[in-house]
Structures are given as C-alpha cells and as structure tokens.
C-alpha cells in the first residue's frame, strides 16, 4: 500500500490561542512530539472454532505490559478485546486462500473520557505455500499521522515475509525513537538478514492538521455537489452512513469528510468501519458518522432508523436523503466552494496529494471564516480572565439572511459549543480575526 492510501483521522491539540482542531482528539501529552510513536503492535489471526467458523484473536502483542495499576489494566483489557473485532469487521465468512491482496485501513476507538486511539491496520497473507488465512498487523497509537504509519506498516509487511522474529527489533527501535515535530525527520536503523542494516527515514508533514487525511479519495468518488451535501449534513450533526465494500475506501472517505469540518470537531459516534455485529448502531437516535460494507445494505435498510443520509461511495450517489441538503448552505458561499472543488477536479494531474489537501482544506476553512469568523469579537472578557460568548449579538451581526439562518442552527451544535468553550478559555485578543 502506498503512503497515504488511507486517511487516518486524529488531531493533536492545537496551541491555546486556537480552539480545538480537527476531530478534537485529546492526545495524551505522553504521546506528543518527542514521545512514543505507538502504544502497541498486535497481530490478529483467525482461529478455527469448534463449529467450523473462524474468530479473530490476538496472537502477538508488543510490548507486553506489566506493572500496570488496576484501572490501567481494566482499560487495557477493554482495548485488547475490541481490537480483533475492528481488524476483521467483515464477519466470520473466511476460508483459507492462496492469494490475497494486502489492504490498509484504520479505525478509531473512543475512551470513556472522550480521548481516542487510532488503529492503523495492514491485512495481509503470510508468506508460505498452499492455502492459509490472512492476518492483521495493527499499530495502536494516540497519534494521527497516516503517512508515517503507512510507511511503518510497509516495513512490517516486508519483514513479515521473512520472519516474525525480524519485526520485533524494528518495532523496538521505533519505540525508542522520538516522534518528530512537524516537518522533521527521524531515522531508524534496522537490520534485515541478507540485506544488512537499513536506514529508514520517517518524515512528518509540515502542516500537522493535514497529515492524516487524503481529500483526493472523496474527489475521486463523489461529485463536488454531493460532497457539499454531505458536508452540510455533517455540519448540522445529522446521521451519516457511508457504504463501500473495501475497508480502505470506507475509512479513507469518512476520515476525509470529518476533516472537512476543521477547525471544528465531530464529537459524536464515529466508526469508520462498523463491525458486522454492531450494525444496529444505525438505530441510534443521536448523531453518528459510520462506514458499512455494501454487502450489509439490505440489513441496514431493514433497521428501524431515524432520518439519515446514506451515501454509496461505489456508485458515487446518495441512496437516502433528508431532502433539504440543497438548501442548507447559503447559495453564494456554496457556489464559491463548488468553483473551488471543480477547479481541483479539473487539475487532478497537476496537483500533488499534498497540494490537493491544502487547497480543499483552504476552501472549507474559508467558508467557516466567512460564516462565523467574527466569533472572537463577541466573547466578553471578565476581570478574572474568563470569557463569555454573546450568542445573540454574534448572530445579529450577520448581514446575510441565509447565512444567519444557518448560523442560528450551527450555534446549537455540539461542535460549535466545544469550539467556543475552548475559545472562552484562551483569551484571543479582540483584534484577532476568526
């Protein structure tokens, strides 16, 4: 799998002056720049059960954790129980095979405190002869940087074809290396039998908020018009279901949709690939953003669901809509974004993935700046230094009726509330722009 094939989604905390960033992961300080790359590497294999079907089980874990406090042990056990389910979310319908194209995807696990861990997965067929079952190498980290972890998984896969024993020293070397700051590189020495010592360079992108996403995935599968309908629905925190067969396509596209909301945060149920046994998630009355394999479409449609937007990523169409998606965004701002997205589509061959990411992100950030960029001047600061957001005055300051209509809905969302909560703590200067 090439670097950036999937867009794992996780943001690091931004400086206090800027309210919470994309996806709002409260990354533990323990995993910030200069600390560990990852928490665990686990191998999930399929084990044959007495009734003949296969179940995913963890067969290897690095590092082994000892001396954990009781609370930490319980959290670790919950984490380790969930991982196999997300490594093989497509159920138990497996049979040994002789050929299997390796695939890269990711998942997000949300802790009780709202913090998130990302699972970066490479599903592959171990080297050998005859029929055998695929296995998943899963790296669990609090860090969102798909390009780096995709490259690490390339190295893991290369070593797996030689021997499991060659993976351990590589991961140990990685664990002892500091996580680089944006734009910096870390070099890891790694010995491979018959190849000698290799130097592996892992460079972190300069722009930290775009290092875990690939907007090209959306532009290739959906028209700019549909992307804006989806964005509008996400902005109002509705229920969104994405359908595709490939796990990489699901996780890639959902991470990209969530990234369109930057600098706001999707704070509700977020499952890029829903395991088969959790399909009733779609019955949830609260907002969600989930990915479901196309083979389960019939079962999903049979569920007693509330209103939801259902998007077919294979055919590039909307299967089910609420009906007002066309009217949510103010016409003028919508047209500006359409022009911008169409321009990127027409210049696909002229832009690198990084350039497309920057250009698409810029279009959506500009939309938010124009819509709610005046928020800082409507925070009233008390003598104690705490801020209080003046919602009514903020809405009244918007001249355009269509913009004001949308903002009155947007200010009631969880993502806007979280953003303002951070802003009220951060004492942004009055002359600062949004």
Q: The domain spanning residue 53 has which CATH number?
A: 3.30.450.200
Clarify whether residues 56 and 200 are in a common domain.
yes
pLDDT computed for residue 284 by the predictor = 87
- Give the full edge-to-edge strand order of the sheet including 288-293: 269-271, 288-293, 239-244, 309-312, 317-320
Inter-residue contact 157 to 137 (CB < 8 Å): yes
The pLDDT score that the predictor gives to residue 169 is 85
Residues 111 and 247 in one domain: no
Same domain, 194 and 242: no
Let me know how long the chain is.
434
CA 156 distance to own-chain centroid: 22
* 178 and 53, same domain (yes or no): yes
Question: What does the pLDDT look like over 60-85, one tens digit per residue?
Answer: 888 877 655 666 677 778 888 889 99
Query: Rounded distance, CA 226 to CA 372, Å?
Result: 23
In a domain, 393, yes or no: no
Within a domain: 389: no
The answer to the question of residue 193 being in a domain is yes
Q: 320: domain CATH number?
A: 3.40.50.11500
The answer to whether residues 248 and 318 belong to one domain is: yes
In the block, tokens 């560990």 appear at 36
For residues 259 and 207, what is the distance between their CA atoms, to the nearest angstrom?
13
Query: What global pTM score does this model have?
Result: 0.81
Choosing from 206, 232, 247, the residue where a domain stops is: 206
The reply to whether 59 falls in a domain is yes
Domain range for residue 282? 215-334
Do 180 and 225 reside in the same domain of the chain? no
Of 164, 182, 206, which one is at a domain's C-terminal end? 206
Same domain, 321 and 172: no
Domain boundary among 307, 334, 361: 334
Residue 171 in any domain: the answer is: yes
The confidence score (pLDDT) of residue 419 equals 93
Distance CA 126, CA 157 (A): 9
Between the alpha carbon of residue 226 and those of residues 315, 318, 324, 410, the distances in Å are: 12, 8, 13, 20
Q: Are residues 151 and 56 in the same domain?
A: yes
In a domain, 322, yes or no: yes
Q: Which tokens sit at 384? A: 């104690």
> Cα angle at 75 between 156 and 283, to 5 degrees?
90
Annotate 208-228 with DSSP letters as a single string: GGGTT--THHHHHHS-HHHHH
**Whole-number Å distance between alpha carbons of 216 and 359:** 11
257 and 287 belong to one structural domain: yes
Residues 88 and 191 both lie in one domain: yes
Any domain includes 387:
no
Distance CA 117, CA 107 (A): 8
Q: With a cut of 50, which residues of the chain have pLDDT below it?
A: 1-34, 428-434
CA separation for the pair 27, 343 (Å, rounded): 35
Number of domains in the chain: 2
What single DSSP character describes residue 376?
Answer: G
Q: Is 309 exposed, middle or buried (0-12, 13-18, 19+ CB in 10 A)?
A: buried
Do 83 and 177 reside in the same domain of the chain? yes
Looking at residue 38, its pLDDT comes to: 87
Pairing of strands 309-312, 103-110: unpaired
The answer to whether residue 343 sits within a structural domain is no
Same domain, 138 and 120: yes
Residue 304 confidence (pLDDT): 87
- 177: its two tokens: 């290396």
Angstrom CA distances, 425 to 253, 286, 347, 380, 386, stand at 33, 28, 42, 11, 6
């Amino acid at each position: 799998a090439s670097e950036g094939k999937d867009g794992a989604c996780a943001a690091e905390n931004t400086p206090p002056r800027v309210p919470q960033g994309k996806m709002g992961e409260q990354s533990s300080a323990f995993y910030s720049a200069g600390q560990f790359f990852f928490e665990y590497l686990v191998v999930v294999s399929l084990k044959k059960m007495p009734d003949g079907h296969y179940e995913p089980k963890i067969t290897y874990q690095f590092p082994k954790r000892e001396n954990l406090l009781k609370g930490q042990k319980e959290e670790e056990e919950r984490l380790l129980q969930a991982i196999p389910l997300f490594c093989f979310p497509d159920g138990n319908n497996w049979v040994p095979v002789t050929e299997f194209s390796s695939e890269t995807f990711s998942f997000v696990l949300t802790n009780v405190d709202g913090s998130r861990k990302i699972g970066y997965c490479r599903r592959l067929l171990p080297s050998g002869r005859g029929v055998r079952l695929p296995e998943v190498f899963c790296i669990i980290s609090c860090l969102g940087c798909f390009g780096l972890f995709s490259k690490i998984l390339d190295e893991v896969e290369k070593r797996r074809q030689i021997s499991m024993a060659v993976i351990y020293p590589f991961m140990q070397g990685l664990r002892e290396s500091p996580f680089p700051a944006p734009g910096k590189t870390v070099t890891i020495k790694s010995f491979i039998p018959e190849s000698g010592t290799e130097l592996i360079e892992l460079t972190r992108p300069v722009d930290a908020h775009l290092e875990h996403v690939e907007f090209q995935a959306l532009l290739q599968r959906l028209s700019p018009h549909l992307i804006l309908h989806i964005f509008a629905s996400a902005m109002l925190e509705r229920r969104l279901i994405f359908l595709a067969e490939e796990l990489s396509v699901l996780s890639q596209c959902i991470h990209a949709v969530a990234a369109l909301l930057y600098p706001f945060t999707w704070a509700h149920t977020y499952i890029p690939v829903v395991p088969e046994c959790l399909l009733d998630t779609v019955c949830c009355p609260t907002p969600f953003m989930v990915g479901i394999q196309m083979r389960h479409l019939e079962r999903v449609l049979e569920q007693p669901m509330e209103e939801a937007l259902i998007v077919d990523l294979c055919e590039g169409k909307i299967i089910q809509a609420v009906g007002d998606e066309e009217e949510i965004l103010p016409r003028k701002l919508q047209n500006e974004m359409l022009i911008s997205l169409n321009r990127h589509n027409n210049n696909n061959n002229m832009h690198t993935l990084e350039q497309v990411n920057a250009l698409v992100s810029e279009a959506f950030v500009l939309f938010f700046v124009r819509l709610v960029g005046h928020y800082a001047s409507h925070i009233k600061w008390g003598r104690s230094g705490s801020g209080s957001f003046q919602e009514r005055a903020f809405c009244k300051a918007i001249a355009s009726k269509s913009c004001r209509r949308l903002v009155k809905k947007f200010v009631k969302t969880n993502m806007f509330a979280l953003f303002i909560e951070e802003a009220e703590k951060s004492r942004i200067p009055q002359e600062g722009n949004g």
